[in-house]
Structure 1
């Protein structure tokens, strides 16, 4: 395996397309349901030609190979900007791998085609022919409804070189080239395979592949050189010409301020480019002169906005020192530059637009009169090429309304509004790593990240589907199978599941917590009413000390499986922090009571108001197992000097607030120290106190690095509370909180940038200071019972949370410090399972199997949408546990392929990696929910022995077609020669994959 792609001969491509469509109803993985046809017959005129949509792939990974261009066309692209060619090509062109990182905003370290210029030319001609064939054969259009636009770089000498000059001339007239004749002959030889495409259609294919060109110049190219090249392309080649221009035209100050205001402070710019790239005034002057030249030749001159923005590599996103940024973070810059340039020409400027174009803005861009529109980043995300279909449908509706001249009023409004548009602010996509803690398996890799991301592994796709069908009772039974605090977690759970949701890379996460809440509202009380305690199945008894979430969860899981359980709690009510600390404006008392009724009806015994100084050996005389679940109530403190005696603890304040909010008097100005959810609660509670005018949260890092959930931070801001970033409190004196200003240094062990003190101080008004910097466990009970602890004061446990004393467990915050509600339940679930196993009691955790319509799931791919507040939200769930295939979606080269097998030894849906089509861009690894890279870790088909020998991938190479003999690299990395059907040579899974390829996917061989 290497990073070199193997161009596919045209006749093989032709047969591949025909066979795949006939057998599977797809072409290069694009389903026929997503083939775009302009049913309205509307069109838009670009460069004197009518096409049915104004958009397509930008010069880049989606326009490099024939199959890429075909996939883009089928989904709805009609303006194809071919990948750039230059004199430096093939093996002489260094491209570091991986070269693409598109997790949010996109970065890349590749520039022009990785093929040789002649090979690139062949790919473009092959695509030209295939699109003509498919246009007619699939009845997509009666006449050619697409345009190819070539792209060249990077200086005049290179463009005039024999290699690139020949490329340009033959794109203008391809009739004498060998690949043209090869394609024409192959189609003619296979005419009997077509039902609609005929010899007249073949002969009418124009040999003029391109009448336009986009000039891509390296950063730092002098304006006079750009003008010389443009004049050459206009006067000598008679080509409509677009000039790529860079966001650096806006100036470093504007770019830096824009990034900072929109949450991209971490992006590191390179001042060099702003000084040495083309300057704005020079660009305007140059365009003015070139427009006169173009007009005299009856040609168009325009700009391509924008080229990618060079940024420094500071977080090892990609190899090297500098990378190029694109995607949604580039949109505010590109659209602003579009307005500034268009204004200089009173709207009379041809703009080919790229730079963050996607579902959320394409209509707005198009409505200004800008066209064509090209994109790359959005296609690198889940849904891939099939995203184009929705974009095409949306733009088709307004084709007839677009004016030739740019509407400056609309463009100005767009350039202003984008700065406050949530879709382009960094915080819109939750700053989360969607990876789950699992290695990518060779087979059976489909998984629901929401399920794996949930500490108790709730069956989320299943209950979301049932809620969508209004089957609330069934949905609730699925929920309560794993979650014994359903009402509470449907209200205040930190919903880690949503931070793993695949839709984060489409639009917004499915509102999973709200779907749970719908089931709770409609089904929990009825479920409780018919609940009867399970018969006791063992004479062993369990004592649980602490009635917080962890203790109650452990009790519930055990009791409903037939174990006698008693919970001891020193307070009068259950649920600890939730009951006594979390404000009622976040969770109502009725919600807490609803879940406690569930626990009680399972048959758990309770002993409230009990002592809290248990001697475990005494307790074990009556109980066979003991579970410690006392929580973490001991406050941590910031080391500050409090001269005014005005500092209080957040938990103590919140507990007081919950019962005495009307009489608490803390003064006018309240400062909260901390950045977690407790700090958010304390601040919002303080804001509701009589007499309080100002509440300020003090945090030593920046807001985007706060550990509090994004939702809680947003609610805080809505309440009018101010967040003061980069401040470290040191002293309270004379009604002032004195803080040292901080700056961010390198990342620490938490993955966040470390705050470093400066010499500057700042004073804030502070009548009361509330410390919310965390809490820890009181170790008295552990010490009293001689339970072994680590250096941090937490009990030492085994993998099942059993302490140094046999049959004594610890769960919840007491185990390792404050954590989430659902993590506390996960602790209880683990301990309960271990006790049940020891007592040989079968557990009642069951997986719900929901029958899904595969076709409906595939139709959802590539469709972006907005969250809904009701049961219809279920329609946004992609059911990743049934169909994942993200690596198929996001591969520009179509090198990851869905293979359906028929075996009892594996799931029917498997991923096959096609080595010859892969350039190791790495994009599939970015979006795979597992830890791994599909292009390295999935079962692979090889097209040559050289590639097989250069790879470590498990997979096969066909050696003998007649006798079905293969070279196979097995799971243990050993290599064998294998004849199909031969026993004990390869695993059943290997054999099934090879058989599927031979019999059902022969076009891949």
Structure 2
């Protein structure tokens, strides 16, 4: 695999585009339904040129190659900021790979084009011609409706070098260049291909590709050098000029405080840049002088806001020591700088805006008078170029004008709003990674991450779609296949599924749990009514000790498949912690009852108020299988020293709170130690208790790192709970809780910043302290019954959760300590399946087929949720199990391609990788839900034997397309000479991929 891109010749592109459009309805993978047409007739004027949209890709990955620019144009970009060129180019540039990480806020370690300057020039000229052709042929506009803006760096001597000067002069007038003539002649010889693009249209293509330029200088470049470069472009080249400015102009204190406020406190800054980069007053004075000069020359000088923010690499985001941050974390900084500069110039300052621009703010920025707007990180995320179409449509109402100044007040308000806008705060996406542990398959890789991320692998896209269609009975039937406690999990599940939802990388996760609850409320009672207990299909009997979520789930799964099951519990009723501990304000008794009634209707037998000191020897005389599910009820470690018996266990408190209907005595001040869901239940219950004036959460990290559900934290705060962050409790004495103040250090293995003690002690009033840091299991009871334990005093179990004692299993919290309800159900599934297999019984954990409308799913790509929309939640689901193709979406170069295959493959939709177009930026690997890298792990097409020989990718190189002769590196890494139709060691799947590529996708070969 080579990270060197092979450029597509102009003639090849010219034949590729119409063939793909005709046969696949797309161009470079952009579906024609995403093509942008401005039907308003409105334009916006910039530098005396009319544009039908004021947006486009920023200088970066999406404007480096001709095909990238074509894709951007097709979807609505009309201002194309070409990728930066500099005197050091081609193989002289060392870019660490991977070089892009757009998982949340964006990071990169690249700076300018990876091509030679001459190659970059050729790509831009090719794109210039192609856009003119497409504009006419696709009837986007009768006259040119787009413009190119070149970007150069990084110092005056480099810019004046022969190489860069030739580039700039070529962009000012390309008519005498070799590539211009090649494109012109190629078009002339292929005029018969077009129905709308005529010879006169070719003649009208302007030789001037760029009349404007953006200056990109390196960090530390002196103000005098920047001013010298700008003066040179204005006076010597006659170019409208933008100067890229950095967020460092705001000062380190402002930048640090803003990032901390927004939740990006983990981003590590390099103080040297704030000292050595252009200073704010120097920048303002420089702009004043340049504006005077530009006015004399009848030109414009403006600023590009902002460049990326340098940050230290501390968490292996990318290789190296320093990276450049972009995306939503940059928005509050960039818009603040825009506001500050606009006020300096009374609104009379041209601003080309980029920092953190996306669907959620593009219209607000334009409304202030700022234009054009470019973006990079947003279109590197799922949806890719298709995101631009939605943005272009959104900003149409701001067309039909030219720059007349910036509304200073509106911009100031926008800068203030940025600090609280949820779309740019870290807490919108606290998920560290959506990656799964699943091995990346070379074929049939589409999966629903929500389903795989769910411990019980619920068929989520299937039931979500059914709920969206109001087919509640069918939806509930799908849910009940894998979920024995749908009402409980529809109310209080920690929804692991939602942390894997692809929509997280668009806007927010689909509200999967709420959709399940809708099905429960509309269909569960009817479902339960219609249950007919299965006939007993085996003479063997099962006893489950513990009627909590794990125990009841095991019983339901077994009983519905024909096994006789009895559940015994020491309490007076079922469902353990859910029923006896979790407060009623979190889950109502009615919802708990729904699941218990379903278990009874299945034929599960229950015995309550049973002594929990079981004897396995006695149980095994009466039952063939024993499932232990007694939970984790023993108080955990008390983190306090010198306790005066005022510290109580959270579960004990909550059980008493429920039994006494809240009538407990706690005093005026209550402190709850912990940050999980139990802690939130506890502190909310304490706050509702008569006599309590202050209820506080004591947590050693910050709110951002609390494991509790975000909604539970917000509910607690809204009810008056005090959140005391960065405090580590030490002891309680005389009604005072002493705590050490903490600070956050580097990231630890949990993906959170580790708390570090400061030595400073503070005292907090505390009549009662409640410990909510986790409870323990009764390991003594396991040991007494001769169950082998590990060093942590948990039962040693097989993959089937069977202990060292044959046919005795451990499930739920008893297995490894406190866990989630859905993980308890997952344990139940494992044990039930094992017992059913032992008994030779089949289970009904069956898959439900999805019937999807492919056109509808493709239309959803790139569409972010408009906060003003009343779109139904179920409609937001992307049905990733049917169509994923994230690697295709996020590749700026179009190196990953969907091919529709017939033959020996499960899915007709397969991905092939085009080696020639890939520079190993790594972006597809970031968003692929599997533990793999599409650019390395998918079937790869090579355009040269040299690239095939130097790669390790599985794939093929076609030596003779007419005869079907190929070199293939197969799944076992063997290299085989293969001719289509012959019997060889090539797998049927690989044959299908080769055959399909030759027969239906020859234009990419």
Give yes or no for TM over 0.5: yes
Between the aligned partners of 1:868 and 1:336, the Cα distance in structure 2 is 25
Cα displacement (A) at 1:984: 2.2
Compared CA separation, residues 205 and 477, structure 1 to 2 (3 A): same
Aligned to 1:768: 768
Contact 2:898 2:909 in 1 (8 A): yes
Q: Secondary structure at the match of 1:409?
A: helix
Q: Deviations over 1:486-545 (max 9, x none)?
A: 011110000110000000000010010111011111101011111110011000110100
1:49-88 map, 5 Å: 49-88=49-88
Cα displacement (A) at 1:618: 1.5
Aligned to 1:315: 315
Contact 1:644 1:735 in 2 (8 A): no
Cα displacement (A) at 1:258: 0.3
Say if 2:409 is the partner of 1:409.
Answer: yes
Say if 2:674 is the partner of 1:674.
Answer: yes
Aligned to 2:105: 105
Between the aligned partners of 1:41 and 1:696, the Cα distance in structure 2 is 59
Q: Secondary structure at the match of 1:115?
A: coil
Aligned to 2:156: 156
Cα displacement (A) at 1:430: 3.0
Between the aligned partners of 1:741 and 1:413, the Cα distance in structure 2 is 35
Say if 2:573 is the partner of 1:573.
Answer: yes
Aligned to 2:300: 300
Cα displacement (A) at 1:945: 1.1
1:457-496 map, 5 Å: 457-496=457-496
- Unmatched runs of 5 consecutive residues or more in structure 1: none
Aligned to 1:927: 927
Cα displacement (A) at 1:870: 9.1
Cα displacement (A) at 1:606: 0.7
Contact 2:886 2:927 in 1 (8 A): yes
1:393-542 map, 5 Å: 393-400=393-400, 404-542=404-542
Between the aligned partners of 1:480 and 1:528, the Cα distance in structure 2 is 11
Contact 1:544 1:565 in 2 (8 A): yes
Contact 1:571 1:608 in 2 (8 A): yes
Between the aligned partners of 1:871 and 1:84, the Cα distance in structure 2 is 40
Between the aligned partners of 1:744 and 1:505, the Cα distance in structure 2 is 27
Between the aligned partners of 1:867 and 1:170, the Cα distance in structure 2 is 45
Aligned to 1:14: 14
Between the aligned partners of 2:135 and 2:763, the Cα distance in structure 1 is 70
Aligned to 2:178: 178
Cα displacement (A) at 1:701: 2.0
Aligned to 1:865: 865
Q: Deviations over 1:603-661 (max 9, x none)?
A: 00111111212211221112111000000001113242345432111111111111224
Cα displacement (A) at 1:745: 3.6
Compared CA separation, residues 748 and 237, structure 1 to 2 (3 A): closer
Q: Secondary structure at the match of 2:887?
A: helix
Contact 2:961 2:998 in 1 (8 A): no
Cα displacement (A) at 1:402: 6.8
1:906-917 map, 5 Å: 906-917=906-917
Cα displacement (A) at 1:404: 2.0
Contact 2:315 2:747 in 1 (8 A): no
Say if 2:230 is the partner of 1:230.
Answer: yes
1:807-846 map, 5 Å: 807-846=807-846
Q: Secondary structure at the match of 1:295?
A: helix
Contact 2:45 2:401 in 1 (8 A): no
Q: Under a length normalisation based on structure 2, what TM-score does the superposition of the two structures give?
A: 0.99
Q: Secondary structure at the match of 1:83?
A: coil
Between the aligned partners of 2:231 and 2:440, the Cα distance in structure 1 is 53
Q: Secondary structure at the match of 2:95?
A: coil
Aligned to 1:733: 733
Between the aligned partners of 1:749 and 1:30, the Cα distance in structure 2 is 40
Q: Secondary structure at the match of 1:776?
A: coil
Say if 2:135 is the partner of 1:120.
Answer: no
Aligned to 1:616: 616
Say if 2:937 is the partner of 1:963.
Answer: no
Cα displacement (A) at 1:750: 3.1
Between the aligned partners of 1:752 and 1:15, the Cα distance in structure 2 is 51
Aligned to 2:332: 332
Say if 2:939 is the partner of 1:939.
Answer: yes
1:234-245 map, 5 Å: 234-245=234-245
Q: Secondary structure at the match of 2:311?
A: strand
- Unmatched runs of 5 consecutive residues or more in structure 2: none
Q: Deviations over 1:790-838 (max 9, x none)?
A: 0111000000000000000010000011110000000000100010011
Between the aligned partners of 1:1003 and 1:166, the Cα distance in structure 2 is 33
Contact 2:667 2:767 in 1 (8 A): yes
Between the aligned partners of 1:694 and 1:978, the Cα distance in structure 2 is 76
Aligned to 2:975: 975
Mean Cα displacement is larger for which, 914-923 or 393-402? 393-402
Contact 1:367 1:402 in 2 (8 A): no
Contact 2:86 2:152 in 1 (8 A): yes
Cα displacement (A) at 1:682: 0.5
Cα displacement (A) at 1:177: 0.4
Q: Secondary structure at the match of 2:912?
A: strand
Between the aligned partners of 1:726 and 1:905, the Cα distance in structure 2 is 54
Contact 1:467 1:871 in 2 (8 A): no
Cα displacement (A) at 1:51: 0.3
Cα displacement (A) at 1:2: 1.1
Q: Secondary structure at the match of 1:213?
A: strand
Q: Secondary structure at the match of 1:371?
A: coil
1:135-214 map, 5 Å: 135-214=135-214
Between the aligned partners of 1:308 and 1:664, the Cα distance in structure 2 is 56
Between the aligned partners of 1:682 and 1:870, the Cα distance in structure 2 is 35
Aligned to 2:599: 599
Contact 1:515 1:871 in 2 (8 A): no
Compared CA separation, residues 456 and 920, structure 1 to 2 (3 A): same
Contact 1:507 1:866 in 2 (8 A): no
Between the aligned partners of 2:867 and 2:167, the Cα distance in structure 1 is 48
How many residues are aligned here?
A: 1005
Aligned to 1:803: 803
Contact 1:369 1:407 in 2 (8 A): yes
